[in-house]
Amino acid sequence: MSSTPPAGQKLSPVRAALRAISQRTRTPLPSLILSFGIIHEVTAIFPLAGFFFTARAFGVGETVVRAITLPTPSDEPGEDGGIATQIRDGAVGQRLREWMAEGETHVEKVGRRHGWFGFEKGSTPSPQAVSNTEAATVSGKIAGDVANAVVAYALTKAIFPVRVGLSLYLAPGFSRTLVQPVGTFVARIFKRSS
């Protein structure tokens, strides 16, 4: 059972904030919403790529996935295994595991669609393949890339509040600088052609 609210409920505070910003900055709401959407997507794509290549460069994807999802052999019941064990066993670890499971699904879907991470392009999961086990058995590097992508996805989800705040902050300026001028230019072209 997921504790995530429906998308409409989750975005209602953002809509209210956009209306208030629109009134305060005198920026048209449609332009502001488009600006927010563009910036929000950009603030997802760049961190996702950055986290992926950073995890790949340092080779930490598999280690992080293993640390969050599996107890280490040294963990014994009743022992305080340190901060890593407390994080893994607490609410933060639970949320990270949810994001990693979600990320694993997305990574496999994208990998199969585009032929990335060792998946064959356009392939469908075989009945005996469980999640990313098929990719993990192809080579250690591919398993690493799948793990790196899953970690990048989870970290990008973790910075969601920062991304929303940054998008809200930058949307009025982006709207005035790029979206409104482009909209005006496109409107002029359509007026001339009609």
Domain range annotation of the chain: 7-193
Distance of CA 187 to the CA centre of its chain: 34
> Of 129 and 61, which is predicted with more confidence?
61
> Which carries the bigger pLDDT value, residue 30 or residue 93?
30
Triad 158, 112, 136: Cα angle to 5°? 75
Q: At what angle do helices 91-114 and 140-158 cross, to 10 degrees?
A: 120
Per-residue confidence (pLDDT) for residue 175, from 0 to 100 = 93
Residue 142 in tokens = 């591919």
Identify the residue whose tokens are 């990008």: 156
Please give the residue that has the higher pLDDT: either 125 or 175: 175
Average pLDDT over residues 159-172: 93
Q: Is 78 left (phi over 0), alpha (psi -120 to 50) or beta?
A: left
pLDDT band at 83 (very low <50, low <70, confident <90, very high): low
DSSP 127: T
29-58 and 140-158 helices, crossing angle to 10° = 140
Q: How far is it, in rounded angstroms, from Cα 58 to Cα 134?
A: 24
pTM for the whole structure: 0.70
Q: Is the pLDDT of residue 130 over 90?
A: no
Question: CB under 8 Å to 175, separation ≥6 — which residues?
Answer: 27, 28, 31, 32, 34, 35
What's the gap between Cα 146 and its chain centre? 15
Q: What is the pLDDT of residues 19-50, one digit of tens each?
A: 888 899 888 989 988 999 999 999 999 999 99
Average pLDDT value for residue range 70-96: 64
Please provide the average confidence, as pLDDT, over all residues in the chain: 79
Tens-place pLDDT, residues 143-165: 678 888 888 998 999 999 999 99
